[in-house]
């Protein structure tokens, strides 16, 4: 059985090895980007079918962010919505024959978790200023600063490992069941995998929202937005 | 036994016993959330959202055990 933590490269471009999950990930990104471009190219006030479906998706994500953060969701929808839609497709692509989820690889989930980590910093600094955001690390006491830093790092690690563990372990379980039982038994497990992928995409996006929301209204920081 | 065989035993023990605590914790969390929704159905959205985030936190503990098991099996630092 090959290790699920390492992936052999498909081919190399110059000195850069390219793995299958990278290709899948790029294809998903390109497909989602192209679909978004085509759907938003001709927006009208009286929407057609495709535009109505798109508006439903966007307004649902907006509503979820508004419920969690209690503020205008427009600055955060691009990040959270992109994460959710990408993860939804990436987790579910396992059901397409010959394709494997890029999120079942350590590198993809690490990149996504680092993205959330830096977004938290970016949105926190943008809302509170650099000094204001840094001040929340020494609240309520400077003695707790190491704990704050540690919690930032461990939650990023947990974000990475949660997504990886769920998607990859589902793939492993599926492989074991396929090797034990025939055709019909794995199909309900694959359907359950779609559900797991949806829940994990939701949880990842929701946790990113919670972390960004906590950074934006960092305790002890001077809220610059509410002054004006 | 060799290091490899001990690693397999260690991985099995890590996953088995590491799943017990989070399983109980998730059960308690879901039971409390259902209790709360039954008492106050209009707060269902907030409760279920908080529940999801909390479950993700609890689940992380079980996932850490899975990671330890995978490291023992596939990236064991003591096996060369």
Model confidence pLDDT, tens digit, residues A193-225: 898 899 899 999 999 999 998 888 865 544 444
Domain borders along chain B are 3-74
**Contact between chains at A161 and B67 (C-beta distance less than 8 A):** yes
CA A182 – CA A36 distance, rounded (Å): 39
Whether residue A7 has pLDDT greater than 80: no
- On whether residue A51 sits in a domain, the answer given is yes
Residues of chain B with Cβ-Cβ distance to A161 below 8 Å are: 60, 63-64, 67
% of chain A surpassing 70 pLDDT: 93
Selecting from B46, B60, B70 the residue whose C-beta is nearest the C-beta of A5 gives B70
Query: Which CATH architecture fits B3-74?
Result: Up-down Bundle (1.20)
Question: Which residues sit opposite A122 in a β-bridge?
Answer: none
- On whether residue A204 sits in a domain, the answer given is yes
CB contact set of B68 (below 8 Å; sequence gap of 6+): B11, B14, B18
- On whether residue A4 sits in a domain, the answer given is no
Q: Is the ipTM of this complex over 0.85?
A: no
CB proximity B1 to A under 8 Å: no
Selecting from A5, A161, A207 the residue whose C-beta is nearest the C-beta of B74 gives A5
Model confidence pLDDT, tens digit, residues A144-165: 889 989 988 988 988 998 898 8
- Return mean pLDDT, chain A: 85
- On whether residue A224 sits in a domain, the answer given is no
> Scanning the structure block, which residue is given the tokens 């074991």?
A176
Instruction: Specify the number of domains making up chain A.
Output: 1
Model confidence pLDDT, tens digit, residues B52-79: 888 888 888 888 888 888 888 888 888 7
**Contact between chains at A207 and B70 (C-beta distance less than 8 A):** no
- Give the orientation angle of helix A77-92 with respect to helix A106-135, to 10 degrees: 160
Domain range for residue A195? 18-216
Whether residue B80 has pLDDT greater than 80: no
Contact A21, A102 (CB under 8 A): yes
**Contact between chains at A3 and B75 (C-beta distance less than 8 A):** yes
Confidence at residue A226, expressed as pLDDT on a 0 to 100 scale: 44
% of chain B surpassing 70 pLDDT: 99
- On whether residue A223 sits in a domain, the answer given is no
- On whether residue A74 sits in a domain, the answer given is yes
Residues of chain B with Cβ-Cβ distance to A64 below 8 Å are: 49
- On whether residue A120 sits in a domain, the answer given is yes
Helix (H, G, I), strand (E, B) or coil at A39: helix
CB contact set of A190 (below 8 Å; sequence gap of 6+): A94, A95, A174
- The more confident residue out of B29 and A98 is B29
Whether residue A128 has pLDDT greater than 90: no
Whether residue A101 has pLDDT greater than 90: no
Confidence at residue A142, expressed as pLDDT on a 0 to 100 scale: 85
Confidence at residue A221, expressed as pLDDT on a 0 to 100 scale: 47
With cut-offs at 50, 70 and 90, classify the pLDDT of residue A1: low
- On whether residue A7 sits in a domain, the answer given is no
* Paired tokens of A120: 């938290």
Longest dimension (CA), chain B: 59
């Amino acid at each position: 059985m090959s290790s699920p933590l390492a992936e052999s490269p498909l081919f190399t471009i110059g000195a850069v090895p390219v793995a299958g999950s990278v290709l899948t990930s790029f294809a998903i990104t390109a497909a989602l980007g192209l679909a978004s471009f085509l759907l938003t190219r001709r927006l009208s006030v009286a929407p057609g079918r495709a535009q109505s479906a798109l508006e439903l998706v966007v307004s649902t994500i907006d509503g979820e962010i508004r419920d969690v953060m209690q503020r205008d969701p427009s600055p955060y929808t691009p990040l959270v919505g992109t994460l959710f839609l990408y993860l939804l497709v990436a987790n579910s692509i396992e059901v397409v024959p010959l394709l494997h989820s890029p999120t079942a690889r350590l590198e993809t989930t690490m990149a996504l978790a680092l993205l959330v980590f830096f977004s938290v910093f970016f949105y926190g600094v943008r809302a509170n200023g650099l000094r204001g955001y840094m001040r929340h690390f020494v609240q309520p006491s400077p003695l707790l600063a190491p704990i704050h830093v540690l919690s930032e790092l461990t939650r990023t690690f947990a974000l990475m490992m949660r997504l990886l563990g769920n998607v990859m372990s589902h793939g492993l379980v599926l492989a074991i069941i396929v090797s034990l039982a025939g055709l019909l038994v794995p199909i309900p497990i694959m359907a359950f995998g779609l559900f797991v992928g949806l829940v994990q995409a939701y949880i990842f996006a929701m946790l990113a929202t919670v972390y960004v929301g906590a950074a934006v209204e960092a305790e002890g920081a001077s809220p610059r937005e509410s002054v004006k | 036994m060799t290091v490899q065989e001990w690693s397999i035993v260690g991985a099995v023990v890590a996953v088995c016993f590491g799943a017990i605590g989070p399983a109980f914790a998730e059960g308690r969390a879901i039971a409390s959330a259902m209790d709360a929704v039954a008492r106050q159905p209009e707060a269902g959205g907030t409760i279920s959202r908080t529940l999801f985030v909390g479950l993700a936190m609890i689940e992380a503990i079980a996932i850490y055990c899975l990671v330890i098991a995978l490291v023992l099996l596939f990236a064991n630092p003591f096996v060369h």
